[in-house]
Structure 1
């Protein structure tokens, strides 16, 4: 049984001709805990006129493929969503564990089995050829019609799961879902799994792998804040003591950092109540912020956190600020992750503090930002205890 597993697929455009306005994009979030699995898919900017899209996840190697169809994506306007629950140790009755699936693809539903059209796809480690293998799978087992045929790993034989029932959760299989997935989504909500939000060592390890992947990708190409004042951790206090020896250098450093923010980003006032010790800028492209961090030697993997990636994808922006207390000689970089209070997950657990756009009292569903304070000298996120 899988105790914990979490991964993200960031969907990018493959076959062109299906965009509505901007380029299509999306993500697939997969999470498994204590033998229960949950998948969330979100897509944007896909044409929806007389078109239906299915989500597949696949285990692909050099010779074989094991595809699993999760059903139709429910499109509303330019946005589409799909939620599914599954057995992470035996995905779709394939006998294969969820961590072995390395491709996610959004396919256009078509009656022609040889015509595989893929507007969006994502790869776990590296790009791998899967289309010809999937065609053979479709031709061998009529997967498009039955949606419950699988290729066995041992002998590549085809097993016809005609007797498998969709109601049997222990033998999870694929339903021939010619209808919109709204009814399925209702059932999913009724069976929703409550996952703990606190991170453990396994969470960190999985997200570390994702961080390394996005590091390679990204370099290529006034309000009353909740809680007491920031409590510095021991390493932050030591760092401040060292840097206080050259206050002028420190001030110049922040001045240059502010100039960079002002040159590249739009200065904003995100909160109804303005505070003089904070200055804020809006981030449309996180790559620009990451490049500034890199140039100023601020080594913090904030932008590679999967929940930060999801928040930026959902709200199309984030904010960055500078906090300065000249009397105490404290200067921090502040990143604000857009969120709805207690609707979206905290991207950094208890290290975040909530700043609501309107109103002092936190309110369920209110829009605001989870703030994290970064010591630029160490790249460490300050504790909020």
Structure 2
């Protein structure tokens, strides 16, 4: 993507879903300000209630022939007032294929498991009215018609057990090819284990914000910033693992997140769905292994 020209644009935020006002109808604005280095985002809101779930700032944009969804960050509300600032560097907007002229909406959303409320919406192009299809794209449907028990593949095994699954056609699709291409472009490939496997591919992640944005853009929902043990692992050992497990034998296709830890007594980042795998690498001090968590790329669900 070529470097951006300098620009500044204000988008008015107006109420879409009612019931989120504090004494009066909430409102505000978003300022987008760009230059050759990237895009700055500034959000100012008044008269909005503190919700049971954090509000998420979401950019909806045209991404070639599909709809792009980028969750910018979480909005904190204090006494009905909220503000937020973030700068997206050139590498980030290039990896997500965000172009200012293609941004359609900016949403302030309250996302729940099976529904999404949108208290405020900013329409960037007045000739493009709000489309409820966007809300449906944000809702992650996780109803399973038939599902057999899944097993995490043991990294020491050569042939993981086969899993047969029958999913509802409405389940979300994870674009694993796009995700892998973006990981290749953004992070360094590495071999963290002493027994390299042809069915595992690993990348060394040192920018959790970039990883979070890439995962969201491809349909993988892992609450990276909300998990302090992931942040501790990254801070202490200066990296996370992101990778793939693929098996042609039994048609398994998983995204794998690895969180470094001192040993298996160190806190699990995901209590009941982690697999401890030891390793030896003097580069990372007293680290002796990784907690691995698997996400099924057929439906975006954690493998339990």
Q: TM (normalized to structure 2)? A: 0.46
Between structures 1 and 2, the one with greater strand share: 2
Q: TM (normalized to structure 1)? A: 0.37
